[in-house]
Amino acid sequence: MNRTREVIGVASIILILAGCSTQATTGQVGSDNSAVQPTARAPRHVDKSDRAHVTFDPCLDIPDSALIEAGYNPATEKNADFTPDEYTFLGCSYKTPERLYGMNVLSGNITFAEEVEKSKEHATPTDINGRRGLLKFDTGVTNSCDLSMETSFGIFGLTRSIFPNYPGPAPEAEWCAGLEDTARIFERYIPKEG
């Protein structure tokens, strides 16, 4: 009788742990380096507008393995949601193990056209794995670079800051260096348009 309870208890713990895994609900990269699409779920937040629901949640849909591949420590995750009534941005922030970089990853339901208009003074068009994107570099914002890409619900964006280990700002050439490579890693997990 006690042995049966032990087996049931261990099986219950395994099921609970499996249910808590972020890998269970996130996209996985297949052997051909294409992303397996994440399981559909209700969005964490729905605003009061008639905009599309944010169906890709970077906090839940980017697996730890992708964060590590990009050089970020999953254990440093902090919530970075911005959810006014007019639109939604779901997001998290991360740091590199050396604390030289900090990054926000955000999914929002503003349109790509709105993003282009807002950023036209300091953005360069780019392509991220076949997706339209904008690399945004504003010399008025020291040690920072942004990248946005188009999604079916709006945009997915990265904002990265450099924390130099010396006084003063990092050279401007370093502000955006490698950000497109990071975006290519994360883009694999964003659902493709139907």
User: Residue 152 contacts by C-beta under 8 Å, 6 or more apart in sequence?
Assistant: 52, 55, 191, 193, 194
For residue 40, the model assigns a pLDDT of: 58
Q: Is residue 35 over pLDDT 90?
A: no
Q: Is residue 102 over pLDDT 80?
A: yes
User: Around Cβ 179, how many Cβ atoms within 10 Å?
Assistant: 22
For residue 56, the model assigns a pLDDT of: 93
Q: Is 151 exposed, middle or buried (0-12, 13-18, 19+ CB in 10 A)?
A: buried
| Model pTM score | 0.76
For residue 52, the model assigns a pLDDT of: 87
Q: Is residue 10 over pLDDT 50?
A: no
Q: Is residue 38 over pLDDT 80?
A: no
Question: Per-domain residue ranges for the chain?
Answer: 2-187
User: Around Cβ 1, how many Cβ atoms within 10 Å?
Assistant: 5
| Percentage of the chain lying above the pLDDT 90 cut | 57
For residue 132, the model assigns a pLDDT of: 97
For residue 82, the model assigns a pLDDT of: 85
For residue 45, the model assigns a pLDDT of: 66
Q: Are 73 and 94 in contact (CB under 8 A)?
A: yes
* Signed CA dihedral, 64, 68, 72, 75: sign only: positive
193: left (phi over 0), alpha (psi -120 to 50) or beta: beta
Q: Is residue 192 over pLDDT 60?
A: yes
Q: Is residue 65 over pLDDT 90?
A: yes
Query: In which band, very low, low, confident or very high, does the pLDDT at 138 lie, cut at 50, 70 and 90?
Result: confident
- The lowest-confidence range among 12-16, 58-62, 68-72, 129-133 is 12-16
